[in-house]
Amino acid sequence: MQGVNIKELTAKPEKLASGHRSCAGCAFPIIVRTILAATDDDVVVSCATGCLEVTTTIYPYTSWNVPFIHNAFENASATLSGVIAAYKSLKKKGRIKKPVKFVAFGGDGGTYDIGLQSLSGALERGEDFVYVCYDNQAYMNTGVQRSSATPRRADTTTTPVGEARQGKIEWKKDLTKIAIAHNINYVAQASPHNFMDLLRKAEKAFNTKGPSVLIVLSPCPLGWKSQPAMTIKIAKLAVETNFWPLYEYEHGSYILNYENDNPKPVSEFLKTQGRFKHLFKKGNEMLLKEIQDKIDERWRQLRTLCGKK
Amino acid sequence: MKTEVTGAQAASIAMKHLNPDVVSAFPITPQTDIMMEFGQYVADGEVSTDLILVESEHSAMSAAVGASAAGVRAMTATSSAGLALMFEILGVASGSRLPIIMNVVNRALSSPINIHCDHSDSMDCRDIGWIQLYSENAQEVYDNTIIGTKLAESVKLPVMVMQDGFINSHCLQNIELLEDKKVNEFAGELKPVNSLLDFKKPVTIGPLQLTDYYFETKRQQSEALSDAYKDYIKFCREFAKISGRSYDYVEEYKLKDAKHIIVALNSTCGAVKDVVDELRNRGEKVGLLKIRMFRPFPYERVFNALKKCKSVTVLDRSESFGANPPLMSEVKNSLSSAHVIINSVIYGLGGREFTEEDVKLIFNNMIKGKKVKHYAGCRE
């Protein structure tokens, strides 16, 4: 797999076929296809309830050309643990010989919130699998309700903008750090706009012994109130403004994957999306500044962790 | 081979003989003894099982679903709150037609929290699509687990084997074990239709079914339970050949000419049998109908067993708040065309003692045509 170029990638068999029902401009098909292209071994997919599951498995059709299981919202990791145990048992008996890779996909609701316990359990047990969170920053499948991954001030259907309150009050949970706190070997943040970086990270995750976690920003035109054609640009802006830094945690070390001496202001990212529209109204300058300050503070912390001055 | 074991040990020994590929477990009183014992078998290399020690019962059932969907024999065990936490995934297991085997050590549900026996946990799961087998003693726990495994894998439905917490699970009893080889021959090898580890035929398990397909899937599931009803008796007969122990949907204890009959589940049946013997010695025509299979429910068998008697008292160790209690409700349904007096007694909630004296009082009131109190052993 090492050093694969884009041309070779396009020749690989599609593990998630086209024809599924995800929205125009949805980022997760790109994320899923890129990640699954990162291994040539047989792979089993476990998927939490959410947009990815409902848009790809409408009976009697399926978009999955690889074995796939959906159990419930909060248990993609525990379910996959069962599949891995079955594999180990059959391998011990010599009834299966080839190496098999295991990957779980969940949205931010199924990962940061309701599925966190199941994920934490599987990480602690050291299951040999890759967990991928496609983070679109709210419960999009049920109609854009806030999750613990929703950024502060985002307008969602449960944190609407009103006279007394302007969007979500709380800051986004830092799941990447929570994953790292399990002392596993590989955790990374990625973005679909840089798919070679995503591919490389997925490859690393598949080849790491024990659990790995990839958290991938997944722009959602429906929930972010953005233009479908802008998905990749918005993902890029998220990285360029340090809203979504690209970094890895590998065997105890932090590695920064993207750095700009003069990062763009976060407003460049926020203004592409209707969910932050209220922040640009007169009188809300402080709300915007507060977000910029937090991003700057977190960026400094991350740089320190990565050994930069 | 006779041996002295607890009900919990009987469950773990049956599991050992069936040598599941995957067992998932999370501790809860009074189920814990099953998993401690089984954990020792794993540590000693007596089974080839991959044991997953998960962080909750929800994950225990989720992992069992994953393993079973991968085409291997998967088991777990739980009690009370653990079963309640699994509830969502119990429906996934039965709806996905996965033959998971689970021992349930019956314990009261919160609130108030209570660790002792009643049947509110498994009764709350009676409509979730699992086969339910109830066990009077350790021997039946062992036998039900073995028969249940064959049944589950034959009709592709999950099965729960119940036993009373502490009363059965922690009491030493003499039971007859079978040789590993005989159990394996009887249970046979699991032959899955689909497996997540079959890469030549990739399957999507757990898809979204909307108004156009869901209904048919549920109907097939219901029909599978009817198949389980037919297969169960067939497997009981096969099991009798290897064990010498004959089982049926129900056990009819001195019912032939009985005028007054108690219907019950699990360990209480032992006490009722003793009282039946004593009253029979005094010439009273009394008997016991023990229900072994609660789901699917043997309506016809219950009707035939009870239709000729004068009065029936159904003992329920759980409430169905605002409705007839679960066992009473089914017995009443079975007897809708018979002219039999039916009394309902709730007893033993939260492990409240229920003695032979209590049983005697119920029988005496039935015999004398007096009112049978709805709550036995409960302060007014």
Q: Do residues B258 and B143 share a domain?
A: no
Task: Report the C-alpha gap between B224 and B235 in whole angstroms.
Answer: 16
Beta strands of chain A (E only): which ranges?
Answer: 42-47, 68-70, 100-107, 130-135, 186-190, 212-217, 247-250, 253-256
Contact state of A121 with B199 under an 8 Å Cβ cutoff: no
Q: Of chain A residues 56-75, which have a CB less than 8 A from chain B?
A: 57-60, 62, 64-72, 74-75
What is the count of structural domains for chain B? 2
Full domain range(s) for residue B324: 250-368
Q: What is the mean pLDDT of chain A?
A: 96
Residue B378 has phi, psi (to 5 degrees) of: -115, 130
In a domain, B137, yes or no: yes
Span A210-238, pLDDT tens digits: 999 999 999 999 999 999 999 999 999 99
- Count of other CB atoms within 10 angstroms of residue A228: 12
Q: Of B243, B276, B308, which one is at a domain's C-terminal end? A: B243
Q: Do residues B62 and B187 share a domain?
A: yes
Sheet holding B341-346, edge to edge: B250-253, B286-291, B260-264, B311-316, B341-346
B337, pLDDT greater than 60:
yes
Q: Do residues B322 and B279 share a domain?
A: yes
Task: Report the C-alpha gap between A251 and B134 in whole angstroms.
Answer: 51
What is the pLDDT averaged over residues A37-44?
97
Q: What pLDDT does residue A7 have?
A: 83
CB A247 within 8 A of CB A126: no
Q: Report, in angstroms and rounded to the nearest whole number, the Rg of chain A calculated over CA atoms.
A: 19
Distance of CA B347 to the CA centre of its chain: 18
Q: Is B72 on the interface with A (CB under 8 A)?
A: yes
In a domain, B55, yes or no: yes
Tokens of B362: 């119920």
Q: Do residues B11 and B30 share a domain?
A: yes
List of chain A residues whose C-beta atoms are within 8 Å of the C-beta of residue B72: 86, 89-90
Contact state of A85 with B210 under an 8 Å Cβ cutoff: no
Distance of CA B225 to the CA centre of its chain: 15
Interface size A-B, in CB pairs within 8 Å, comes to: 162
Q: What is the CATH number of the domain that holds B326?
A: 3.40.50.920
Task: Report the C-alpha gap between B340 and B308 in whole angstroms.
Answer: 8
Return the amino acid letter for B366.
M
In a domain, B376, yes or no: no
Sheet holding B131-134, edge to edge: B50-53, B22-25, B74-78, B101-106, B159-164, B131-134, B293-295
Model pTM above 0.80: yes
B24, β-bridge pairs: B52
Q: What pLDDT does residue A8 have?
A: 84
Q: Do residues B170 and B57 share a domain?
A: yes
Return the amino acid letter for A1.
M
Q: Do residues B39 and B165 share a domain?
A: yes
Task: Report the C-alpha gap between B55 and B32 in whole angstroms.
Answer: 14
**In which residue are the tokens 């757990």 written?**
B206
Domains identified in chain A and CATH numbers? 6-305 (3.40.50.970)
Q: Do residues B322 and B353 share a domain?
A: yes
In a domain, B344, yes or no: yes
Span B343-352, pLDDT tens digits: 999 999 999 9
Q: What pLDDT does residue A6 have?
A: 78
In a domain, B378, yes or no: no
Q: Do residues B238 and B328 share a domain?
A: no
Span A135-165, pLDDT tens digits: 999 999 999 999 999 999 999 999 999 999 9
Q: Of chain B residues 245-284, which have a CB less than 8 A from chain A?
A: none
Nearest to A102 by CA among A69, A55, A63: A69
Distance of CA A10 to the CA centre of its chain: 22
Task: Report the C-alpha gap between A94 and B265 in whole angstroms.
Answer: 43
Q: Do residues B199 and B264 share a domain?
A: no
A102, pLDDT greater than 80:
yes
Span B202-245, pLDDT tens digits: 999 999 999 999 999 999 999 999 999 999 999 999 999 999 99
Q: Do residues B207 and B102 share a domain?
A: yes
Give the ipTM of the model, two decimals please.
Answer: 0.97
Q: What pLDDT does residue A4 have?
A: 66
Nearest to A154 by CA among A206, A215, A227, A219: A219
A137-A140-A146-A152 Cα dihedral, nearest 10 degrees: 30
Q: Do residues B235 and B293 share a domain?
A: no
Prior bond of B112 cis (ω within 30°): yes
CB B116 within 8 A of CB B273: no
In a domain, B377, yes or no: no
In a domain, B379, yes or no: no
CA atoms within 13 A on the CB side of A210: 14
Reported as a pLDDT band with limits 50, 70 and 90, residue A3 is low
Tell me which residue in B22, B88, B92 faces A85 most closely, judged by beta carbons: B22
What is the pLDDT averaged over residues A113-120?
98
Q: Of B208, B243, B278, which one is at a domain's C-terminal end? A: B243
What is the pLDDT averaged over residues A280-291?
97
In sequence order, the 6+-apart residues with CB closer than 8 A to the CB of B365 are B371, B372, B373
Nearest to B360 by CA among B307, B292, B313, B290: B313
What is the pLDDT averaged over residues B289-294?
98
A128, pLDDT greater than 90:
yes
Contact state of B205 with A54 under an 8 Å Cβ cutoff: no
Span A7-26, pLDDT tens digits: 888 888 999 999 999 999 99
Q: What is the CATH number of the domain that holds B146?
A: 3.40.50.970
Reported as a pLDDT band with limits 50, 70 and 90, residue B1 is confident
A1, pLDDT greater than 60:
no
Q: Do residues B282 and B195 share a domain?
A: no
Span B49-73, pLDDT tens digits: 999 999 999 999 999 999 999 999 9
